Structure 1
Amino acid sequence: MNDDLPVLDAFTHLMPPAYLREVERLSTNRDIAKRLGTVPMLYDVPRRIEMMKGFGNYQQVISLSQPSADNVLGPDASPALARLGNDGLAEIVDRHRTHFPAFVASLPLNDIEAALQEFDRAVLELGAAGIQVETNIQGVPLDHPRFVPLFERAVHHDVPIWMHPHRGAGYADYPTEGKSRFEIWQVLGWPYETSVAMARLVFSGLMTRLPTLKIITHHLGGMIPYFEGRVGTLWDQIGVRTADEDLGYIKDMLGGRPVDCFRRFYGDTAVGGSASSIRCGLDFFGSDQVMFASDCPFDPEGGPGFIRDTLQAIQSLALPADVHRKVCHDNLAGLIGLAPAATLAAAPSAQEA
């Protein structure tokens, strides 16, 4: 691994302390509250920076962790909580830009008008690189008409959307049970959530109507790359298994094979350091659509583990130098307006005040 090669981490989570205190005070989700309190590098910025220095020329794009403001408070109060979180992230970027060059805003999506106002404020006033959305909003799919203005606003601002899976223990694995057991809801449920959200955005026609929309799918597109064969051959036959509605219009509406529409998404490498998963994602999305991400600090070590393991996994793939550079830095840098790796390598090292 070339230690001088810049690495830009697309999907990491950081909770500004003031925001975290409010979430812990207000949240009724005991599972999430328990998790947040066990990861110091989720909120201790100096400790986080010290850990990051061990990875050389390495930077993080930061976003809030779950729960989102709209999963903590109702629409009357969620906008203020979202503003608190975004203001906190913007302040961290302003103070520590050498380590955190950009942040991703979160929105109060249980009030779409307030969400659009916060979208504008975050991008135009705070300098957010884009927005983070969950794969469903209180159980409502992202292709619901109420959310169409959100995607249109992303196109208007020309910023990406970071899509994070959302599924809790209340989503039972079997209809005869009241909850999901053994944390199946997260380990297996989150890739499923991502895949379903992608499918709904494709088959609703949203991705076709907004051809410049850019969506970064967490965990490398969930199940989609691995199930390319099923996604391809079975959805080539869409409608043959459905008797209560005519789906024959889908392929004409999409203008080609459904599987090719899924390749329009971006995927990140936050797959727990699995080289074979990253190879699969590269084969599916292509080298221009995959970007480095670690999901820091939610590894078993509470910070460095996923970064180290993902870097090692990418190194083990022995990618061509130009592909390596694109995945580790330039694909994301190009999306959010940062300088490419070659430019950074030629410039003198920046020193943080």
Structure 2
Amino acid sequence: MRYIDAFNHFFPERFFAGVVETPAGQKDMGKRVRGIPALFDLDERLRIVDSFPDYSQILSLSMPAIDRLWGPEDSPEWARIGNDELAELVARHPQQFPGYAASLPMNAPEAALREAERVLRNGANAIQLHTNVDGAPLDEERFWPIFEVIAKSGRPILLHPIRTREMADYRNETKSKYEINSVIGWPFETGAALARLVFSGIIDTYPDLKVVSHHLGGIIPYFEGRVGHSWDQLGSRTSDEDYASILKRLKKRPLDYFKEFYGDTALAGARGPTICGISFFTPDRVLFASDCPFDPEKGTGYIKATIAVLESLDLSEEDRNKICHGNARRLFGLD
């Protein structure tokens, strides 16, 4: 079986050197990434990819997000550096890396718009966005032109969750504890970002927009019943805003929008949630992904575990092909 890994992460050489010099790159996530050679060592990454038969990766930059690393005066240049380095890797190693997802300096929206136009014109296969921009929601008006450009390109958004320690678990605290912000905060953050795309009207405005939600949609598939029936009654719990009028404005039932997003299989090899996510999105909207190299083995573990889960499922050959490589080929323009 051919596997195209839709969501995994790598730091090219020059970009990585810049990351480790930033304050954010020297603490928290920066502390973690320096301990994973396959995240920045190309030879090690190639060794891992080549250890699996008929396996390749669509590369994207790793965390922290560009807008967490540099201010708006520097982020456009570093986004260009990272994107150009990824494009060069794809050109040099097309068998291992058939495509890449470009990243944008979202804290400088006008520059982000120009960078999106540039990379999509030059062959980027996707755009990686995070679920917030240094704490700001993606549906703010300043970001809408970026969605328009991506929608017109036909290429997908790879939506990566980001929820920092500053986003506290409780109102009377200033920081999240015990890494709750990422371990269980990221799945919530994914659901929240998808909801903002739906209820803000972005999806109705740009109906051709394709969004691949990391970790198989976060909490959304698991709470399908609650998402469906509770948002069918939008406004029934709120008296100070007219949410009921949003239901009249939407062109579809809220749940139907969520089912039209895509999800990837990066679930650390968990079988039950994989079944749940495929059931929710259907095999037409699920892409194989591993989240390499953030497994305990530092590169191979999640790839092996995710392949094993998919091989254990009772899927038709047609559906298995869609999930493992067909949907990726179509969305990323690899055909």
> TM-score normalised to the size of structure 1?
0.93
Distance in 2 separating the partners of 1:246 and 1:107: 34
Structure 2: how far apart are the matches of 1:74 and 1:47?
A: 31
The answer (yes or no) to whether the contact 2:102–2:126 under 8 Å persists in 1 is yes
The residue identity in structure 2 corresponding to 1:89 is L
- Secondary structure in 2 matching 1:251: helix
Q: Which residue of 1 aligns with 2:85?
A: 88
Specify the code of the residue in structure 1 equivalent to 2:102.
Answer: A
Q: Deviations over 1:243-290 (max 9, x none)?
A: 001112222222332111111110000011111111111111111110
1:50 to 47, 50, 62: 47
Question: Corresponding residue for 1:308?
Answer: 304
Task: Return the alpha-carbon distance in structure 2 between the equivalents of residues 190 and 112 of structure 1.
Answer: 24
Q: Does 1:180 align with 2:176?
A: yes
> Unpaired runs of 5+ in structure 2?
none
SS for the counterpart of 2:283 is: coil
Paired letter, 2:36? V
Distance in 2 (alpha carbons) for counterparts of 1:133 and 1:51:
26
- 1:111-167, Cα deviation, whole Å (9 max, x unpaired): 111111111221212x21121111000111111111100110001211111110011
Distance 1:187 1:51 in 2: 25
- How many residues matched? 334
Report what 1:70 is aligned to.
67
The answer (yes or no) to whether the contact 1:52–1:58 under 8 Å persists in 2 is yes
Q: Where does residue 276 of structure 1 map in the other structure?
A: 272
Q: CA deviation at 1:46?
A: 1.6
CA contact (8 A) 1:82 1:106 kept: yes
In the alignment, structure 1 residue 326 sits paired with structure 2 residue 322: yes
The alignment partner of 1:299 has SS state of coil
Matched, 1:170 2:198: no
1:296 matches 2:292: yes
Contact kept? 2:292, 2:300, Cα under 8 Å: yes
Provide the C-alpha distance between the structure 1 equivalents of 2:288 and 2:171, rounded to a whole number of angstroms.
Answer: 37
Q: Deviations over 1:172-223 (max 9, x none)?
A: 1112222111111100000011000000110111111211100110000100
Distance in 1 of aligned mates of 2:235 and 2:153: 36
Contact 1:220 1:270 (C-alpha < 8 Å) held by counterparts: yes
Aligned equivalent of 2:107? 110
> Matched residue of 2:28: which SS?
helix
Question: Do 2:234 and 2:243's aligned partners in 1 also have CA atoms closer than 8 Å?
Answer: yes
Structure 1, residues 13-70: CA drift from partner, whole Å, max 9, x if none?
0100111110110233510110110000001112111112221000000000012222
How many Å separate the matches in 1 of 2:12 and 2:86?
6
For the residue of structure 2 that corresponds to 1:80, the secondary structure is helix
Q: Secondary structure at the match of 2:20?
A: helix
Task: Please point out which of 6, 14, 17 is paired with 1:10.
Answer: 6
Extract structure 1 runs of 4+ deviating beyond 3 A.
Answer: none
- Letter of the 1:49 partner, please give it: L
For 1:55 and 1:277, locate their aligned partners in 2 and report how far apart those are by CA, in whole Å. 24
1:251 to 242, 247, 253: 247
2:19 to 23, 31, 54: 23
1:205 to 2:205 alignment: no
Q: Larger deviation: 80-89 or 246-255? A: 246-255
Matched residue SS, 1:288 = helix
Deviates more, 1:242-251 or 1:33-42: 242-251
Quick one: distance in 1 between partners of 2:24 and 2:183? 22
Asked if structure 1 preserves the Cα contact closer than 8 Å seen for 2:24 and 2:64, the reply is no
Tell me which amino acid in the other structure corresponds to 2:266: A
Identity of aligned residues (%): 48
**Secondary structure of the residue that 1:92 maps to in structure 2?**
helix
Gapped runs of 5+ residues in structure 1? 340-353
CA RMSD of superposed structures (Å): 1.0
Assess if the C-alpha contact under 8 Å between 1:294 and 1:310 holds in 2: yes
Partner of 2:125: 129
